Structure 1
């Protein structure tokens, strides 16, 4: 599988998992979602906010600094990104879920437009502390999707501890079966 195809697969996995996690989280009251459970970002709601903030920060970098200037990311480029990875964008699940769903659709559209030439670029960007980096865009893309998976795993654990089962989460479930030779 080529890296561009992998990006499309991961964008679909991202949406599928976010839909599952938000459906599971909706079964809990607000107090349980905002309870500090000792995770990196405290609560289920804090971790979901972190995921959204980090995705917006990365997508803004991709939209603003990549030479292709991806048209699918125009709406991202035209808004100010979050200023911190722990920024609380929403204090309630419903508006967070709406923005997450809209962003996931944009990620899928964008991933479908990526080319091998896009992935072979070096992206020059500054992090939220102003530290400048020069990194392979293909590697940054893999980090982008891996980061989502990492923190969704934390959310899955937090939900399980709160008594809510998210269900199967394996990427394997989205891989197509091939007919035997």
Structure 2
């Protein structure tokens, strides 16, 4: 599996896992989703909002890459979150609608990547305004790793609330070698 194939696999995993996660989360009443559970981002809803905010911020940065990734053009219509704790949506339904749209955009973006673009760099500023420049492939690995990390937290919070998310292993999406 080459790098572009790996990123496409991660985009499919992201979409699949978010579907699993939101399906499980929607079994809880809104008050339970918003309950402060002493997690990094407070509640289940706060954690899911953080994932959406982080993904939006990174994709908007990538949209400014000189390659002008066509799949990211629709992000011009989306406001950049002010920070990673901002509650973008106060309820799971609005959050899920935006999550589905963004996950399809991530899938389309990953399917359009090529090796040359992965070897390029991206100049950006973080949420504190500190300038940085990093390799695009490395940033995309971070992007997908960040999602997995916080989905794991959300899965734990849901489990503690008595909701089973089901299978979560990437292994389930890796094609058999035979």
TM-score band, normalised by the shorter chain? over 0.9
1:69-128: CA deviations, max 9, x gaps? Answer: 101000113433111011110000001000000000010001000000010011110011
- C-alpha distance in structure 2 between counterparts of 1:4 and 1:67, whole Å: 19
Which position in structure 1 is the counterpart of 2:148? 149
Q: Which runs of 5+ in 1 are unaligned?
A: none
- C-alpha distance in structure 2 between counterparts of 1:116 and 1:140, whole Å: 14
TM-score normalised according to structure 1 size? 0.97
Three-state SS of the structure 2 residue aligned to 1:89 is: coil
Q: Tell me by how many angstroms 1:168 deviates.
A: 0.8
Q: Which runs of 5+ in 2 are unaligned?
A: none
Which position in structure 1 is the counterpart of 2:58? 58
Which position in structure 2 is the counterpart of 1:107? 106
Which position in structure 2 is the counterpart of 1:75? 74
- C-alpha distance in structure 2 between counterparts of 1:23 and 1:141, whole Å: 26
> Is residue 129 of structure 2 the alignment partner of residue 130 of structure 1?
yes
Which position in structure 2 is the counterpart of 1:47? 47
Task: Give the total of aligned pairs.
Answer: 178
- C-alpha distance in structure 2 between counterparts of 1:55 and 1:104, whole Å: 9
The structure 1 segments of at least 4 consecutive aligned residues displaced by more than 3 Å after TM superposition are none
**CA RMSD for the aligned pairs?**
0.7
- C-alpha distance in structure 2 between counterparts of 1:113 and 1:63, whole Å: 13
> Is residue 18 of structure 2 the alignment partner of residue 32 of structure 1?
no
Which position in structure 2 is the counterpart of 1:117? 116
Three-state SS of the structure 1 residue aligned to 2:54 is: helix
Which position in structure 2 is the counterpart of 1:5? 5
- C-alpha distance in structure 1 between counterparts of 2:10 and 2:104, whole Å: 13
TM-score normalised according to structure 2 size? 0.98
- C-alpha distance in structure 2 between counterparts of 1:8 and 1:18, whole Å: 15
